[in-house]
């Protein structure tokens, strides 16, 4: 028998990124005076700072260049960004390294790593972000048959614009330009990491990033996967599931946003 779903005729509390909620509130709503959680306040501050920089033309989001309403576009991504912020905060607080090294594979305009650097700053962590991206179009030879339609995507990206977006953190960011996995051989790579974000929209580079960095991930560290649960990227989910299937030191949680978070113990 096919599953049936009851449609609640009540106002939604969040809608975006393919997810709508009506009976539960996201963390940044229903915040009670005197009971504010530091992770929620820190996220709200980072989120408003990004919007302010964007309004002033100091943080250009080329990904949404055709959007008529930037606030609407950012609101749709708010759950995604909260989980990025929270996971980076968790990694900073639960790893033992003096310097927290963050890795992002698939950087785009630098929006996600902005939240990460703010999270580290808010807990006083000494941090370094290692960023990996081609800042060019996706190559067909790095795509599986199911992904070939993405060939040529992201040709509009500019490493110079991303540098400018992250200029206030320029002393804490390393830009590694090139296509994964070949770029690992010529990049400045950290020996250990506290947190990693993979947003590559393709299975083979995702697998390569896990193979290269997972053993460098500290106990208490986090891997956040952006594309894991999206129907358009089932091959990415397949390689991730295969990678973690026999990992005794990892716990993977599939999130309703389509992301997945992995905790290393």
State yes or no: pLDDT of 1 exceeds 50.
no
Length of the chain as a residue count: 265
- Asked if 197 contacts 112 with a C-beta cutoff of 8 angstroms, the reply is yes
| Higher local confidence (pLDDT), 4 or 246 | 246
47: domain CATH number is: 3.40.50.150
Q: 4 pLDDT band (50/70/90 cuts)?
A: low
Please give the mean pLDDT across all residues of the chain.
Answer: 95
Cis amide linkage into residue 181, ω under 30° from 0: yes
Within 10 Å of residue 61's Cβ, how many Cβ atoms?
19
Flag whether 11 is in a domain: no
Structure confidence by residue, pLDDT tens digits, 9-30 = 668 999 998 899 999 999 999 8
The pLDDT assigned to 6 comes to 53
Flag whether 124 is in a domain: yes
Write the CB contacts of 189 (distance below 8 Å, at least 6 apart in sequence).
130, 176
Write the CB contacts of 260 (distance below 8 Å, at least 6 apart in sequence).
224, 225, 228, 229, 240, 252, 253, 254
Kindly tell me the sign of the dihedral angle through the C-alpha atoms of 13, 79, 87, 169: negative
Residue 250 domain boundaries: 30-264
The pLDDT assigned to 66 comes to 85
Number of domains in the chain: 1
Structure confidence by residue, pLDDT tens digits, 190-219 = 999 999 999 999 999 999 999 999 999 999
Flag whether 165 is in a domain: yes
Structure confidence by residue, pLDDT tens digits, 126-176 = 999 999 999 999 999 999 999 999 999 999 999 999 999 999 999 999 999
Flag whether 12 is in a domain: no
Flag whether 120 is in a domain: yes
Structure confidence by residue, pLDDT tens digits, 67-90 = 889 999 999 999 999 999 999 999
Q: Which two tokens stand for residue 127?
A: 């941090």
- Asked if 176 contacts 102 with a C-beta cutoff of 8 angstroms, the reply is no
Percent of the chain scoring above 90 in pLDDT: 91
Flag whether 51 is in a domain: yes
Flag whether 8 is in a domain: no
């Amino acid at each position: 028998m096919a599953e049936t779903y009851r449609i609640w005729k009540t106002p939604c509390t969040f809608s975006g990124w393919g997810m709508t909620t009506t009976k539960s509130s996201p963390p940044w709503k229903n915040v009670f005076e005197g009971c504010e959680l530091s992770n929620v306040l820190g996220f709200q501050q980072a989120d408003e700072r990004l919007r302010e920089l964007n309004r002033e033309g100091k943080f250009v989001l080329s990904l949404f260049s055709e959007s008529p309403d930037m606030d609407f576009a950012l609101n749709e991504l708010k759950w995604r960004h909260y989980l990025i912020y929270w996971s980076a905060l968790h990694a900073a607080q639960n790893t033992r390294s003096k310097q927290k090294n963050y890795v992002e594979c698939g950087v785009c305009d630098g929006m996600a790593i902005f939240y990460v650097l703010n999270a580290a700053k808010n807990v006083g962590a000494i941090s370094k972000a290692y960023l990996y991206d081609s800042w060019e179009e996706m190559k067909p030879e790095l795509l599986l048959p199911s992904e070939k339609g993405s060939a040529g995507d992201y040709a509009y990206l500019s490493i110079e614009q991303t540098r400018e977006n992250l200029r206030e953190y320029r002393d804490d960011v390393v830009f590694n330009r090139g296509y994964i996995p070949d770029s690992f051989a010529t990049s400045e790579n950290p020996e250990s990491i506290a947190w990693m974000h993979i947003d590559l929209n393709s299975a083979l580079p995702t697998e390569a990033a896990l193979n290269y960095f997972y053993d460098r991930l500290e106990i208490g560290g986090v891997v956040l996967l952006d594309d894991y649960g999206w129907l358009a990227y089932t091959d990415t989910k397949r390689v991730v599931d295969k990678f973690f299937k026999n990992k005794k030191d990892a716990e993977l949680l599939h999130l309703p946003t389509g992301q997945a978070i992995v905790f290393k113990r």
